[in-house]
Structure 1
Amino acid sequence: MSGCIDNNKAQSSGVKDKADQKNSSIEEKNSSFILTSDGIPLRYAIHGEGPPVFFVLGYGMTIDEWPHRIISNLARNHTVIVYNHRGISGVHNPYVPFTIPQGAMDLHDVITQLAGGKKECGSSDDGLNSDETRTLEKGNGTALPVDIVGYSMGGMIALEYAKTYPDSVNHLVLISTDCGGAEKVPAEPWLIEEMGQTLNNPKEYLERAGRLLLTDEFRTSHPDPYTWFVDYGEVADPAAVQEQYESFLSWKGVYADLPSIHCSTLVITGDQDLVIPPENAVIIADAIPNATLIIRKGQGHGMIFVEPEEIAGIIEEFLEGRVLN
């Protein structure tokens, strides 16, 4: 099953009914959706022109929360594709919950289906051109190597994808993530517990994000919480966020498979990351052959929000094959 929500049928009537209920809001947002293999709509957006780069979201995020300055900088020379994880927009398949391995399968659906971009939906402006299509798809939906950027939980999904589809990744960028399983270095128990708590209002969520993702120094120099995360839009469905929380806690990880990842890999972390301690980046970079490790001094888990242009520049240099300092 492939294509956009308005020209494909879901596999089960229950899922289809839920998908149909979303059509009006889809039109209002002027967004595009693809359908996963089990009929779940995933909202996506395409920016720029050039070789395709697929961005994989972190825990609880929506595509509107990617820092605009990362996307816009990379979109100068690349086609940047961002998408929501299953359930984020409110449509769930009760028989196929979100897990890290399922997220990798969904990413595979995204990559193979977006070979035709939005042109399948009648748009002539937003799809990938014929050369980029050939880069993405071969035969009957077999993905050819692409570039993938995964942040936090998105990095876990990217690693699972690289393990499952070893010939489908050209460049792999892993930001603030871990390899899962017994080999990872976990966050402090209080932090893990706090991440899973349901709060009362958006302000409380904002304040928690600041405490966990940003350094004390940054919050002191930026006392207005509404300046911390300037890009926002769709709000993630709480049930989907809870599934995500359970998924990375139960993930068995890919440590044993890391030596078999032979694509060009860049691992980036902040030395003050509380959510995923920086030791995890060292573990990944040591295990993947010829991986490049960059540790940003004075940065926490939310460094993509604090220094988006710097992070975009590092990714750009890596994708272009230039030597990283």
Structure 2
Amino acid sequence: MSGCIDDKRAQEPNLEESSEKINISTEEKGSSYITTRDGIPLRYVIYGHGSPVVFVLGYGMTIDEWPHQMISNLARNHTVIVYNHRGISGVNNPEVPFTIPQGAMDLHDVITQFAASGELCRDSNDGLNSDKSVVLEMGNCSDLPVDIVGYSMGGMVALEYAKTYPDSVKHLVLISTDCGGTEKVPAKDWVIEEMSRTYNTPKENLERAGRILLTEEFRTNNPDPFTWFVDYGEVADPGAVQEQYESFISWKGVYADLPTIRNRTLVITGDQDIVIPPENGVIIADAIPNATLIIRQGQGHGMIFVEPVEIAGIIGEFLNN
């Protein structure tokens, strides 16, 4: 769930223009669009150089809300690709709404198109702050499979993806997520109600996000809501956010398929997570044969915002090993 609020309105991308940019290299601080099979532009940014890792957003988030410290630390040794879910930038297909399985299909479009363009293969010696990416000869770089990191709802999409496209996944990192269906441990009713509620001001939205994502101890030690989520930019389209909410509420889940996931998997959860209780991490880690579980003490659902460097270190160590 997004906690970062800004009063700027997102610019609607040009569909024709976006399709022309699919195979064009992206500068470190720039962004462009990749187009899904049904013509929806997904905004993306690529950071760093090295083996590819694709980040999958949580509920209500945009790519600007990934903690910069987490992304920049991982981009020292990896090509980090972040992208928006469909509809987030205000362009959607009314006949193809966002669902968790559809999110997995969109992720497949992202990965396969980047693999075809060569963007997944970037010179690890070229440096994080290079002005342009260096595309290697495809024979010198293993562009597939890729590492995937999914946060919250993004973890659900990542699980659906690993079930559907297992051969294109190398490592799977699941942060604060559940397996869906009747097997998941649900949040309390008041938390679900808060997640679906609409507020009118940035401060109200921030305070709501704080109540859900951050621990009471953290909020007490950091009483100014405007210091809780320091990375922001594009604002998610409200209609897209509503579709996302409905998607994970109705998702049938993948519990029965978890034992078939053979990819090395890292499950990270916070012991004070009230959005997706930590028991869900235990369920996933117990069911996936090659899974490692890490429970962060004193952390809630928003731990990536509270300790981005520490989380990046845990992910980096797992991927590098």
TM class by smaller structure: 0.7 to 0.9
Structure 1 residues 56-65 or 190-199, which shifts more? 190-199
Q: Cα deviations across residues 266-289 of structure 1 (Å, max 9, x unaligned)?
A: 000000000000000000000000
**CA 1:214 to 1:133, structure 2 compared with 1: closer, same or farther past 3 Å?**
farther
1:120-199 correspondence runs (5 A): 125-126=132-133, 128-131=135-138, 135-136=142-143, 144-199=144-199
How many residue pairs match? The answer is: 289
**CA 1:59 to 1:147, structure 2 compared with 1: closer, same or farther past 3 Å?**
same
Please tell me the residue identity of whatever aligns with 1:8: S
Per the alignment, residue 79 of structure 2 pairs with 79
Unaligned runs of 5+ in 2: 1-14, 21-28, 121-130
Question: Taking CA–CA contacts closer than 8 Å with sequence separation of 6 or more, which of the two structures ends up with the larger relative contact order?
Answer: 2
Aligned structure 1 segments of 4 or more residues deviating by more than 4 angstroms = 131-134
Unaligned runs of 5+ in 1: 10-28, 137-143
- 8 Å CA contact 1:100–1:160 kept in 2: the answer is yes
Please tell me the residue identity of whatever aligns with 2:39: G
Distance 1:307 1:314 in 2: 11
- 8 Å CA contact 2:18–2:35 kept in 1: the answer is no
1:1-325 correspondence runs (5 A): 6=17, 8=19, 31-115=31-115, 116=117, 125-126=132-133, 128-131=135-138, 135-136=142-143, 144-321=144-321
Query: What TM-score does the superposition give when structure 2 sets the normalisation length?
Result: 0.86
DSSP-derived class of the 1:170 partner:
strand
Distance 1:132 1:8 in 2: 27
Q: Cα deviations across residues 200-224 of structure 1 (Å, max 9, x unaligned)?
A: 1211111111000000000001111
Please tell me the residue identity of whatever aligns with 1:229: F
DSSP-derived class of the 1:182 partner:
helix
Residue 158 of structure 1: how far off its partner (Å): 0.1
Distance 1:36 1:118 in 2: 17
Please tell me the residue identity of whatever aligns with 2:190: W
**CA 1:218 to 1:32, structure 2 compared with 1: closer, same or farther past 3 Å?**
same
Distance 1:215 1:5 in 2: 44
- 8 Å CA contact 1:36–1:109 kept in 2: the answer is yes
**CA 1:78 to 1:97, structure 2 compared with 1: closer, same or farther past 3 Å?**
same
DSSP-derived class of the 1:171 partner:
strand
Distance 1:169 1:157 in 2: 13
Per the alignment, residue 12 of structure 1 pairs with none
Residue 155 of structure 1: how far off its partner (Å): 0.2
DSSP-derived class of the 2:148 partner:
strand
Distance 1:75 1:219 in 2: 30
Distance 1:307 1:132 in 2: 38
Please tell me the residue identity of whatever aligns with 2:60: G
Query: What TM-score does the superposition give when structure 1 sets the normalisation length?
Result: 0.85
DSSP-derived class of the 1:203 partner:
helix
- 8 Å CA contact 2:18–2:41 kept in 1: the answer is no
DSSP-derived class of the 2:76 partner:
coil
Please tell me the residue identity of whatever aligns with 2:169: V
- 8 Å CA contact 2:18–2:34 kept in 1: the answer is no
Distance 2:18 2:215 in 1: 46
